[in-house]
Homo-oligomer: A and B are copies of this chain.
Amino acid sequence: MKTRRASGRPTIADVARLAGVGAITVSRAIRDPNQVSEELRNRIEEAIRELNYVPNVQAQILASGQSNVIAVLLPSLTNSVYADVIRGIYDKVAPTRFHIQIGNTRYSEQEEDRLVALFAWQRPAAMLLAGLDQSETTRSFLADAEFPIVQIMEHGPAIDMGIGCSHKDAARAAVTHLIDCGYRRIAFLGARKDPRMMRRRDGYREALAALPGAKPIELLTPEPSGVARGRALFSQLLDTATDIDAVACGNDDLALGALFECQARGIAVPEQMGIIGFNDLEMAAAAVPAISTVRIDRYEMGRRAIGMLLDRLEGKKVGEPIVDIGFDVIRRASTSAVDQGVSAARSAKGG
């Protein structure tokens, strides 16, 4: 008798033979133990231990038709923001039968279209996307996909499920905090121009609209973000608009860059210039002065997004399909100084 088996790995048939039962009973004992009598279950478990049996995942998937891949499409893997999200995703998935396949869309809608189609053909068990701004093609393509889909980062109308927060509201709260501190000539700094960044800009505009006589001073670049980029942009801004007294930055990288530029020019923060960032990266709290920012629990967002997918895959009912995870404005030293006649809303929190 001929065999093609290359690996010495034991099969379910080996276990069945050793335990003196049928192969299918072993299969059942593994997947749903209470379907099997205690006696057989014990014999099978012992056989599994003795042979060091590990099920062949590919065969399981082929036979059951059930994929164990959760496709995860993110715009960046390097960005700390997504690193935290990824950590949450992996932690939640680890103890399950599922595993993650990551795709990097590089902030490109075109690349996202390509990857969604590519991954969808592989029939993933579920899919996780960042943001709500997929192309019309992709949205309608996914609208009648048979697998659950969760969109993270933002709060709003999702294809299937979603968890995140309103970046517009968050940015508005941040800028409102600057206004409460007494700053009046407030600029906005942005980079990359991805959808979240643009919504933060919108929040900035809304907050400013509530400040009589204030008009927006904005500087955005489509180039990738970074501390050096923040410094260069803020330098450019200072050369143009000489009378600004605060800057709301689209993220903490830019904010740290702005702080460095202030240091280089001898501008006192927060006395002469207020600075607030976004994301609450670790460095923000340690800077001198500590940088005010907006915190979103990204790790938890990743965890809960996967949790929602798992619930659906297990047939459980998902409570709320669209979750607002909220945000916190973190008040620190970089925005605590000036008070030009307005009762400055200072906070006891932070550095």
A contact residues vs B (CB 8 Å cutoff): 4, 6-7, 9, 54, 56-59, 61-62, 65, 67, 77-80, 83-84, 86-87, 90, 99-102, 104, 121-123, 226-228, 230-231, 253, 256-257, 260-261, 263-264, 282-283, 285-288
Contact = CB atoms under 8 A, between A and B. Distances in A.
Nearest to A228: B286
17 contacts: A9-B123, A57-B122, A58-B58, A58-B59, A59-B62, A78-B87, A90-B102, A100-B102, A228-B283, A228-B285, A231-B286, A260-B288, A261-B288, A263-B263, A263-B288, A264-B288, A283-B283
A27 to B, nearest CB: 16
A7 B257 CA distance: 52
Contacts of A59: 58, 62
B77 A80 contact: no
A90 B105 CA distance: 12
Contact of A61 (B58, B231, B264): B58
Taking the full assembly, how many copies of this chain does it contain? 2
A86 B6 CA distance: 32
A7 B123 contact: yes
Contact of A287 (B226, B260, B282): B260
Contacts of A84: 78
A286 B230 contact: yes
B54 A62 contact: no
Contacts of A253: 283
A347 B6 CA distance: 59
Contacts of A264: 288
Nearest to A54: B121
Contact of A80 (B54, B57, B80, B260): B80
A227 B102 contact: no
Contacts of A102: 90, 100, 102
A123 to B, nearest CB: 7
Contacts of A7: 65, 123
Contacts of A67: 58
Contacts of A123: 7, 9
Contact of A283 (B58, B83, B227): B227
Nearest to A60: B58
